[in-house]
Structure 1
Amino acid sequence: MGKIKSKLIRRTANTLLKKDIEFTENFEDNKRMLGNDTMPSKKLRNQIAGLLGKIKKQEMVKAEALKK
């Protein structure tokens, strides 16, 4: 179950990426950057951190493909 993320998760992740915050492909680092105070729940924080990592990994793969 559950690879599909809700619109809220996707929209929030994209908004955070546009804010020029240096997220990485590492879930734990992204989770720490989001912090405990800013998110309404632990589950949302973890889902957003995971999606941010996934997006960053995809960007890295695209960048490497363009270099070749």
Structure 2
Amino acid sequence: MGNVRIKLVKRTARELLSKYPDLFSEDYEYNKQALIKVADIQSKVLRNQIAGYITRLVKRQRRLEQLSTRQELMATDEEEYIRRIEGV
């Protein structure tokens, strides 16, 4: 089981991700450096927790985008298959 994150970490990560959607990536180390530039967080532990949660959110967002694209392709293929059957 993973660690439970406090509301401060989650809220800050979501706010920063909504303000700077293109700044963060799936790379934790890159997100740590980007977070240093964007936010003034004195606590190293808190900064690392926020960077880790941002990384998790970005990965989840990318996975959801891939799934939705895949489902759209499957729906298109299915429609094409039905058209072929009905046309024959």
2: distance between equivalents of 1:65 and 1:3? 26
Q: How many residue pairs end up in the alignment? A: 68
TM-score, normalised to structure 2, is: 0.70
Which residue of 1 is the match for residue 29 of structure 2?
28
Q: Which has the higher helix share?
A: 2
TM-score, normalised to structure 1, is: 0.89
The CA RMSD measured in Å over matched residues stands at 1.8
Q: Deviations over 1:4-46 (max 9, x none)?
A: 1000000000110111251001100000011177112100110
* Structure 1 unpaired stretches of 5+: none
Which residue of 2 is the match for residue 19 of structure 1?
19
Q: Where in structure 1 do 4 or more consecutive aligned residues deviate above 3 Å?
A: none
* Structure 2 unpaired stretches of 5+: 71-88
Higher RCO structure, 1 or 2 (CA under 8 Å, sep 6+): 1
